[in-house]
Every structure is written in structure tokens, then in C-alpha cells.
Amino acid sequence: MGYQAHFRVWRGDADAGELRDYQVEVNEGEVVLDVIHRLQATQCPDLAVRWNCKAGKCGSCSAEINGRPRLMCMTRMSVFTEDETVTVTPMRSFPVVRDLVTDVSYNYEKAREIPSFRPPAGLAPGEYRMRQVDVNRSQEFRKCIECFLCQNTCHVIRDHDDNKLSFSGPRYLMRIAELEMHPLDSHGDTGGDRRELAQAEHGLGFCNITKCCTEVCPEHIKITDNALIPLKERVVDRRYDPLFGLFRRRGDRT
Amino acid sequence: MTEIERHAVDVVVIGAGGAGLRAAIEARARGMRTAVVCKSLFGKAHTVMAEGGIAAAMGNVNPHDNWQVHFRDTMRGGKFLNNWRMAELHAQEAPDRVWELETYGALFDRTEDGRISQRNFGGHEYPRLAHVGDRTGLELIRSLQQQVVALQQADFREFGDYEAGLRVFAECTVTDVLLDGGRVAGAFGYWRESGRFVLFEAPAVVLATGGIGKSFKVTSNSWEYTGDGHALALRSGARLINMEFVQFHPTGMVWPPSVKGILVTESVRGDGGVLRNAEGRRFMFDYIPEVFKEKYADNEAEADRWYTDPDHNRRPPELLPRDEVARAINAEVKAGRGSPHGGVFLDVSSRLPAAEIIRRLPSMHHQFRELADVDITREPMEVGPTCHYVMGGVEVDPDTAGSRVPGLFAAGEVAGGMHGSNRLGGNSLSDLLVFGRRAGLGAAAYVTSLGQDKPVVAMADVDQARQRALAPFGGSPADGPPENPYTLHVELQQVMNDLVGIIRRSDEMELAVKKLDELKRRARNVVVEGHRQYNPGWHLALDLGNMLLVSECVARAALERTESRGGHTRDDFPQMDPEWRRALLACELARGPAGAEAEVRVSRHVQPPLRPDLLALFDLAELQKYFLDDELTDHPRWQLRERA
Ligand SMILES: Cc1cc2nc3c(=O)[nH]c(=O)nc-3n(C[C@H](O)[C@H](O)[C@H](O)COP(=O)(O)OP(=O)(O)OC[C@H]3O[C@@H](n4cnc5c(N)ncnc54)[C@H](O)[C@@H]3O)c2cc1C
Ligand code: SF4
Ligand code: SF4
Ligand code: FES
């Protein structure tokens, strides 16, 4: 059943690196991460790769396989023909640490800049009541495994590294949308405005809804349609509705 | 000696899963400067993989539920070997811990009236598991992670520094706990990325490192599960209890080979899935043990009615505790009634409409479609037992989570006692929160009690830790060929799987002990290539020592316990023995004669007796199946019992 596959793996560090060629055994049912592990065990014990669950749940093993951003543990070898070269490179939008491992601290920094969930005043733990239909949308966004593939793919930072300063990327704009749509978040009640924040501080305006982020999301979250576009519409609402704009906070949700 | 990166804090939490993060949140809330150290990126600890749910007797779905019922189920599941005080605290405090997650922003699935929905699970009398589809662990860890961020934001507002009170050291591995006169003084580790060493000076360390599954070949556990915390505890002088009890989850994937062991959540059965053998028979009806006959249906009609009318029907035997189901599957396969790839069939496709399956079990649907080309809405899955959870762990005080080493605390999977001989599904996530919080409290109280009398790290110990960590780079070994850590790891996994696996025998375990000895000797000759920057071969070489130590504990304790109970099944002693119920096996490292290596010693201790009011929660007749008569004289009905 097994066959010898031709792999090209990027090896190197922050300073320099190159694609190296390997012949490596592949068996039935395997995924790319299995093959990378076989390389580690048999040919290059110091090949650096991040992984954890090997079941598509932790979002550690992101890389680019034949140029496509994917999880290595969820990419079956059967999607390639036996004579196809499989090229594995680190995510391009983040600085390389070593081999397939990148420095993803940008994401953690952005996460820290978003005001957290603010519990509702006057409700004790255990008293929260929310209808399933009202939490569905935020739950969809909370399926995010933080693989950062969408961040890696979005052209706003992929092609312009400087934008990282003012653009938080689809994952974190979606996080703002998630909190904005959380039925019990009271950030707005205390004068905060998450939509304005998305626009002013997190670069929502950079997004020109190309949907590339949605395409690579291994959790199939409709990032653009369900999070970014509604967030943009709400911002527009908020800005151009002179009659209600300033007073309306959560009225559109009750 | 070169300079080393140092951080002086009050509490070091090793591990950023549910237990570690909850401990850190609590310690920080008590004013402790807290460091959380973890091997993976922040938010990716093993807890993220938990699927089915978190058990808490909130009574949202069935109002009859309360902490006493949860306590009873937990003790039954553990075959009454549980530390009763832990089981009591756990059952009482779990609801508060779940509700607290909502204040961090968690969004659980809801009931019709807007409360947290709860689902059925093996061994739980009522629907009890709060859940989010089948990705509950992700919700749990993300909520805690986001609460950590919230606390950091508060610190930023106050001090202009996000990390003033609580800092996460991600991709950093702790290799030694450092002591000063028997008390904790700090921890030593290395950054995975750079290979540089780091020293934490702290009077309290909370171990929250999770489990040991990577010592077994077929496992649902990730690479992190190398038993580091168990080994750190042993080497610091703490004791491990219940190490013979390892849970094999009945349903892991069996095909294709590269995903063998990956978990298939128990919710599949909780939501109606049934187990069949190659002949199409629902074989679990043939495996209902005597002690559970009153609670489980003996025919399909009643079992099926239970899903809609649980108050008037007994539950389906597919929902027996995990050890029972795992053994049954094992027996069916051995008897030649298995599925093509050596498992049995788990079928939900004939039980629920496709849309309902996708709604309730989205990640299972995804997992089978992506990894096995199986559409679970149309065809059955093939499943078999997989090493899943270790009941054994650090012996701790139930109220403070403190070990017998001053300043050393443990919570979560690395702690022992709570689950006795077998853990119920859903009881781990709740355990993490209940005892994570208590460990944070315990550590804070301990640090406060020290005042100015703080232990000090000795630089000689730091040097020694450094030498130990660098040993695999040492070049050719003196007494034998150089060894490859990957090869040794594979051999270790095979030994544990074949000789100390789901069914055990004394001759096999003796052989295992011998082989482990040999592997230990060879592990001293491990040589790694390359440099220290992000070098997985080196990381594995260091983890290997921990896995070997912990595996030895499992094998030696298992050899000692001459009965079958929960996650310890012996071919040569198939019965449960009440004498053994009150026996605890403890492992510790005993210093050999000068110069010789420390070795694992197993000793036998008496379980603390159950408090009378807790005994009274059970029928005397049920207790008599597990306990010796002289342990039951405090039961309120003892005097009235029928005399034989
Ligand atoms: C597939 C799967 C599904 C499960 N489903 C459920 C479920 O539905 N319900 C339930 O209750 N339980 C479930 N469990 C069990 C439960 O998930 C685990 O027992 C639990 O998550 C363990 O949490 P923890 O906090 O103890 O450790 P973990 O979450 O495993 O975290 C351990 C942490 O310690 C760190 N660490 C380890 N060693 C070191 C070291 N040397 N230095 C620094 N850091 C270190 C790791 O990096 C990690 O951050 C499941 C388990 C698996 C594998
Ligand atoms: S839709 Fe917006 S966020 Fe997503 S990739 Fe396109 S520009 Fe980036
Ligand atoms: S939204 Fe999807 S692609 Fe982006 S980080 Fe989350 S899981 Fe990954
Ligand atoms: S290893 Fe966890 S997502 Fe791939």
C-alpha cells in the first residue's frame, strides 16, 4: 500500500532558509502531519513543527501545503497523486522561528487589545438566561480554533506587513462581532461601542470583503458573511442614522 | 556559570489547561504575582480536545438532580475507591464553577427556557453535562484564556503593564522543581523556541500538567501527555496514588492506522448511538454486571424508551461506565465478532435524522468525513478502546490541593484520588475547575503564611538541572551504542500497550517491569543531533525520562493490586475484592544506597473511611457489594439490616 513520496520542506530560521527535498514513505490513510513526523523520526530529528491534537481541534499545525494555507493534520495524503511533489512551507505572513514554526505573537497582541466580555450588572452567576437562537451566531464564531490561517491569508497583511499595526485581521474582527452579538455583554451599557472600535482601532475599513479568510477556515466559519459584513453594516448604521444612531445601542437585537 | 533568565513570582502554575488556568486566575485574584508555564501555545493545551461536556448537577434538564446524586454516581463510577472528600467537594462546587464560566463569556448550548442545556452521559443518572455541541473543551479553555486576558487588561489599566500580575510563558517546558530544605523554592525549564534556560523563583508551584497517555501506543492523548507533572512530583518527594488505574475509553477510531486512537466522543452514545458486533447484535445487553442490573435495561425496547422517558425506564447498557464498555468491546473482538478493522460498530445513522446528527455531533461528523471517508449520518463508525485518562496522580489534600511537599500543589488530571478506579465522562472538566480554583487558593494561602520566611534557590541545584537537561547532547555514551529517542519511545509504547494495557496478567507485567528497566538503562545513552533551538528530538529525549518513570509506577502498582476494579482489569484476578477497596497504593521515589539511582517503591495504605452522612446517601444493600461489614457499622440502617 505504501509508496515513496517526494516532499519539499522549508528548512531554515529567521535569517535564511531553503526548500529541501526528501523521499519519504507514505501509507494508506495518512495525513501530511504523519509524513512530517516520519521525516522527524527517520531523517531529520531536528525538523521543527508545531502540533498538538492531530485531530483538527487545537489549531497548532497550520502551514502552507503546495501554497495553500491548511492544517497539516487535516490534509489527507490521498488528495495528492503519488507522483505529485508535496511542498510544505511555514505560514507566510508571520516571521519564521524555525522550519515550519512561525512567530504568531501578533495574534496574541491583537487579542489583548479587544475589550473583554463585560458581565451584565444585576445578574448573579446562574441567573443568565439566553435563547438558543440568540447565541447561535456568537457560538459559530466561538468554534474558532485560533489556527490563524485566516490571518495568514488576508491580503491586507499578507501583502503589506506594515498594516499589522492598524489591522487586527479577520479572526479578531470576528471576535469583536462575537462580543457585539453576545446577548448579555454589557460593554455598550457602560458607554463602550464595539462597532466604532472595530472601525477606529482594529482596521475594519481595510477589509474589502474578498472572503479569502472564509475560504481557508478549517472550521468553515462564515467569517466574512456572518461576522465582517454585519459588523460593517452596523458601523454604517451607527454612523449615518442621525435619528437613532446615537441613542440606539442594542435595539436591533431585542 | 553563565547568566540565566530569572523571574521572581509568588506562584508558578505549570500547565495552561483547564486546571492551570483556573488556578492562575484564582492565585492572581488573591493578589499573587503568578506565572503560567506551558509547553504549547496559549489556548492549545490538551483541554481543548474535550468534547462531550462538563458534569455539574445544576438540574436544568431534570430537576431531581443535585450534588448528592452526582456524588453517588461519581463514587459508583470509581467503584468506591475515590477519595470521598474530593468527590464531595467536586459534586458540590461544580455548578458554581460552570456558572462562573458564563461570567467569563462562555456560551453553552441552551434549554428551551434559556438555561444551560445538559446532556446524558455514561454513569450519570440524569442529564448532567453542560456542553457546546461536541467542542466543550474548546469553549472551556477559550473562556478561561479570555478571562486571563481580561485580568491582564485590568492590570494594564492599573500599572501600564499587561503582565504585571499574571504572565503566560508559552512554549516553555519545566524540567525540574527546585527545593530548599524540602520546601519548594522554584522551577527550572527551557524555552522550546530558543533552547535557553529559565529559572522561576517562587515559594509555590501548582502542577497542572495533565496526563500520561503518550506512554501507550493507542491513545487519544497528544504529545504533551508525557507525565511530566507526575514525574516532577515524584522527584520532589511527593507521592502518587492510584497509578494502576488507567482509563481506556471504549470508543477510539480504529481506522485508518494513522488516526487510530483518536477519540469518538461518548455523546454519540448519550444521544442515542448504539454498539453492535459483526452479527448486528447490540451486545452490551450481554455485559451488564451484577452491581448495575437495577439501573440498566435488559432489553432493547426499554432501553430505547429511556431516551424520551427516563423516569420510568432503565438506561441503555451502552451508557455503562467506560471500563465496562471497553472490556465488553475487547471481549467481542477477541471472540471474533469484531468489525473489519478490529473494532465494533457504533451506529447513530439508524437512530437519528441526518440533520440532527450534524447539529449535535458536528465535530464527529467532520472528523470521520475528513479522516476516514465515513459519513456518520449514513453508515456506522468502527471503534475500539483507546488509552484516554489516568486516574492516578499526585496525592493531595482535598481542600487545599497541597501535596506532602510544602509549596507543591496539584490539580486536574495530574492529581489523584478524585476519580477512584474509574472516571466518569464529564467529571474531568468539572474537576479541573473545582480543584484548579482550590489549588490557586491553597497556594495563595500558603505563600501568605510564609511571611518573610521564603525558601531560596541554590545555584548548585540550578547547575545540576542544567546538566541534566543538556545530557542528551553529550556525545557518544560510555556503555553502549547511542540511542535514538524516537525509537525508544516507540518501544516504550509497545511495552505498555501489550503488557500493561487494558487486560493485565502478572507474568506480562513482570516482563514489562524488566523491559522498562532495560529501556531506562538505554535511555541514559540517548544522543540527539543539532542544536537547542526548537529541537523536537531533544524535547522528546527529556520527556522520555518522565514517561519511563511514570510507566514504571503504573506497571509496579498494577502488579501489586491482585484484583480487578475500574481501570485495572486482571485476567488472573478477575473479581473485585472488598479488602482491596480500602487499600491505596502509593508510589514514591526511594533513594537507593549512595550512588545508586533512586527507584520507584510501592506501598500500601488504608483509605480514609467514608463519613457516615455520606454513607447514608447509599442503600446499605448496594454498599455491601463493595464494602466489608466492619466498614458499614456507621450506616443508619446497619442495626436494622436483615440478618442472614
Ligand atoms: C479527546 C479527549 C476528549 C475528552 N473529553 C472530555 C469530556 O468531554 N469531558 C471531560 O470532563 N473530560 C474529557 N477529557 C479529559 C479532559 O479533557 C482532560 O482530562 C483534561 O482536559 C485535563 O486538563 P488539565 O488541565 O489537567 O491538563 P491539560 O489541559 O492537558 O493541560 C496540561 C498543561 O500542562 C502543560 N505541561 C505539561 N507538562 C509541562 C511541563 N513539563 N512544563 C510546562 N508545561 C507543561 C501543557 O503544555 C498543558 O498546557 C477528554 C480527553 C481527551 C483526550
Ligand atoms: S474578507 Fe476581509 S478580512 Fe477576510 S481576507 Fe478578505 S479582506 Fe481580509
Ligand atoms: S476563524 Fe477559522 S481560520 Fe481563522 S483562526 Fe479561527 S479557525 Fe482559524
Ligand atoms: S494538530 Fe491540532 S489542529 Fe492540527
**Concatenated DSSP letters of A111-124:** HHTSPPP-PPTT--
Euclidean distance between CA atoms B499 and A65, whole angstroms: 40
Contact of B380 with B344, CB cutoff 8 Å: no
Inside any domain, residue B7:
no
- Do the Cβ atoms of A58 and B99 come within 8 Å? no
A109, A190: one domain? yes
- Reply yes or no on whether the pLDDT at B185 is more than 50: yes
Which residue among A64, A96, A128 closes a domain? A96
Q: How far is the CA of A222 from the centre of ligand 3 (A)?
A: 10
Residues B621-631: pLDDT tens digits?
Answer: 999 999 999 99
In whole angstroms, what separates CA B98 from the centre of its chain? 19
Residue B259, chain A, CB below 8 Å: the answer is: yes
pLDDT score recorded for residue A254: 36
B595, B522: one domain? yes
A75, A29: one domain? yes
Q: How far is CA A107 from CA A60, A73, B169, in A?
A: 13, 21, 16
B551, B623: one domain? no
A88, A119: one domain? no
Q: What is the CA radius of gyration of chain A?
A: 21
Q: Which of A40, A54, A112 sits opposite B153 (nearest CB)?
A: A112
A174, A122: one domain? yes
**How many distinct structural domains can be found in chain B?**
3
SS3 B9: coil
Residue B362 CB neighbours (<10 A): 16
A151, A204: one domain? yes
CATH of the domain at A52: 3.10.20.30
- Spell out the residues 6+ positions from residue A103 whose beta carbon is closer than 8 angstroms to its own: A94, A95, A96, A97
The DSSP line for B537-606 is: HHHHHHHHHHHHHHHHHHHHHHHH--S-BTTB-BSSS-S--HHHHTEEEEEEEE--STTSPPEEEEEEEE
Q: Which of A130, A146, A179 sits opposite B43 (nearest CB)?
A: A146
B364, B308: one domain? yes
pLDDT score recorded for residue B362: 87
Q: How far is the CA of B218 from the centre of ligand 3 (A)?
A: 29
A119, A166: one domain? yes
Distant-in-sequence contacts of B1-6, Cβ < 8 A, 24+ apart: B1/B459, B1/B463, B4/B197, B4/B198, B4/B199, B4/B462, B4/B466, B5/B196, B5/B197, B5/B198, B5/B199, B6/B198, B6/B199, B6/B200, B6/B201
Inside any domain, residue B516:
yes
pLDDT score recorded for residue B266: 86
Angle at B85 between CA B81 and CA B90, to 5 degrees: 100
pLDDT score recorded for residue B1: 52
pLDDT band at B476; cut points 50, 70, 90: confident
pLDDT score recorded for residue B122: 86
Ligand index nearest the alpha carbon of residue B253: 1
* A213, HSE (Cβ side, Cα atoms, 13 Å): 32
pLDDT score recorded for residue B530: 83
Helix axes B136-159, B18-29, angle to 10 degrees: 30
- Do the Cβ atoms of B48 and A53 come within 8 Å? yes
Inside any domain, residue B365:
yes
Euclidean distance between CA atoms B580 and B573, whole angstroms: 12
Residue B575 CB neighbours (<10 A): 11
Query: From the first residue on, what is the mean pLDDT of each consecutive set of 10 residues in chain A (254 residues)?
Result: 93 95 94 95 90 93 97 94 97 96 97 96 95 96 98 96 95 97 93 92 96 97 97 70 40 39
List the single residue in A with minimal CA-CA distance to B486.
Answer: A41
Ligand index nearest the alpha carbon of residue A160: 2
How big is the A-B interface in CB pairs under 8 Å? 164
Mutate to test the pocket of ligand 4, among A34, A35, A61 (most ligand atoms within 8 A of CB): A61
B515, B617: one domain? no
Inside any domain, residue B89:
no
B494, B581: one domain? yes
Q: How far is CA B278 from CA A36, B255, B299, B335, B384, in A?
A: 36, 16, 19, 11, 13
Ligand index nearest the alpha carbon of residue A151: 3
Which is the catalytic residue, given B249, B315, B466, B568? B249
Write the single-letter amino acid at B547: M
- Reply yes or no on whether the pLDDT at B484 is more than 90: yes
Which residue segment(s) compose the domain that B340 sits in? 250-385
* B 129-168 residues inside an 8 A Cβ radius of A: 132-133, 135, 137-139, 142, 146-147, 149-150, 152-153, 156, 162
Contact of B374 with B366, CB cutoff 8 Å: no
CATH of the domain at A191: 1.10.1060.10
Euclidean distance between CA atoms B154 and A196, whole angstroms: 21
B257, B368: one domain? yes
Least Cα distance to B600 among B247, B189, B233 occurs for: B233
- Determine whether the shortest distance from the Cβ of B231 to ligand 1 is under 6 A: no
Write out the three cell numbers for B579: 479488602
A10, A31: one domain? yes
Contact of A50 with A89, CB cutoff 8 Å: no
CATH of the domain at B322: 3.90.700.10
Q: Which of B40, B41, B260, B361 to mutate to test the interface with A (most CBs of A within 10 A)?
A: B41
pLDDT score recorded for residue A127: 96
pLDDT score recorded for residue B642: 63
A85, A134: one domain? no
Euclidean distance between CA atoms B88 and B496, whole angstroms: 33
Q: How far is the CA of A56 from the centre of ligand 3 (A)?
A: 11
Q: In A63-182, where does DSSP find H-type helix?
A: 105-112, 132-142, 149-153, 155-158, 169-181
Taking residues B555-571, what's their average pLDDT?
Answer: 96
Residues B311-349: pLDDT tens digits?
Answer: 899 999 999 988 899 999 999 998 999 999 989 999 999
Helix axes A169-181, A105-112, angle to 10 degrees: 30
A46, A144: one domain? no
Residues B362-382: pLDDT tens digits?
Answer: 889 988 998 898 999 999 999
- Is residue B531 flagged as an active site residue? no
Q: How far is the CA of B23 from the centre of ligand 4 (A)?
A: 26
- Is residue B46 flagged as an active site residue? no
Ligand 3, residues at Cβ distance < 6 Å: A 59, 144-150, 171, 216-219, 221, 223
Which residue segment(s) compose the domain that A73 sits in? 3-96
Q: Kindly report the nearest CA distance between residue B461 and chain A, in angstroms.
A: 28
Least Cα distance to B576 among B125, B81, B123, B124 occurs for: B81
- Spell out the residues 6+ positions from residue B543 whose beta carbon is closer than 8 angstroms to its own: B214, B226, B228
Scan for cell 501545503, then name that residue.
A65
* B 519-578 residues inside an 8 A Cβ radius of A: 528-531, 533-538
B623, B602: one domain? no
- Determine whether the shortest distance from the Cβ of A73 to ligand 4 is under 6 A: yes
Q: Name which residue sits closest to atom 7 of ligand 2, judged by CA.
A: A207
A160, A92: one domain? no
B529, B627: one domain? no
Residue A190 CB neighbours (<10 A): 9
SS3 A26: strand
Scan for cell 485508518, then name that residue.
B256
Inside any domain, residue B580:
yes
Residue B307, chain A, CB below 8 Å: the answer is: no
Q: Kindly report the nearest CA distance between residue B241 and chain A, in angstroms.
A: 27
Least Cα distance to B254 among B158, B127, B368 occurs for: B368
B405 burial (CB, 10 Å; 0-12 / 13-18 / 19+) is: buried
Residues of B in contact with A115 (CB under 8 A): 153
Q: Which of B107, B194, B265 to mutate to test the interface with A (most CBs of A within 10 A)?
A: B107
Taking residues B562-586, what's their average pLDDT?
Answer: 95
Inside any domain, residue B501:
yes
pTM of this prediction?
A: 0.94
B614 burial (CB, 10 Å; 0-12 / 13-18 / 19+) is: middle
pLDDT band at B17; cut points 50, 70, 90: very high
Q: Which of A45, A125, A126 sits opposite B528 (nearest CB)?
A: A45
B573, B615: one domain? no
Euclidean distance between CA atoms B408 and B394, whole angstroms: 10
Which residue among B385, B413, B432 closes a domain? B385
Residues B88-145: pLDDT tens digits?
Answer: 999 999 999 999 999 999 999 999 999 999 999 889 999 999 999 889 999 999 999 9
Contact of B234 with B88, CB cutoff 8 Å: no
- Determine whether the shortest distance from the Cβ of B266 to ligand 1 is under 6 A: no
Residues B46-91: pLDDT tens digits?
Answer: 999 998 899 999 999 999 999 999 999 999 999 999 999 999 999 9
In whole angstroms, what separates CA B321 from the centre of its chain? 16
B596, B493: one domain? yes
B320, B255: one domain? yes
B586, B631: one domain? no
List the single residue in B with minimal CA-CA distance to A128.
Answer: B115
Euclidean distance between CA atoms B328 and B21, whole angstroms: 37
- Reply yes or no on whether the pLDDT at B615 is more than 60: yes
- Spell out the residues 6+ positions from residue A246 whose beta carbon is closer than 8 angstroms to its own: none
Inside any domain, residue B17:
no
**How many distinct structural domains can be found in chain A?**
2
Ligand 2, residues at Cβ distance < 6 Å: A 154, 156, 170, 207-213, 224, 228
When the pLDDT of each residue in chain B is averaged and rounded to a whole number, the result is 94
Which residue among A96, A120, A143 closes a domain? A96
- Do the Cβ atoms of A126 and B99 come within 8 Å? yes
Residues B210-230: pLDDT tens digits?
Answer: 999 999 999 999 888 999 999
The sheet carrying A17-26 orders its strands as: A17-26, A3-12, A85-89, A62-65, A68-71
A39, A64: one domain? yes
Which residue among B362, B385, B408 closes a domain? B385
CATH of the domain at B542: 1.20.58.100
Which residue among A96, A128, A158 closes a domain? A96
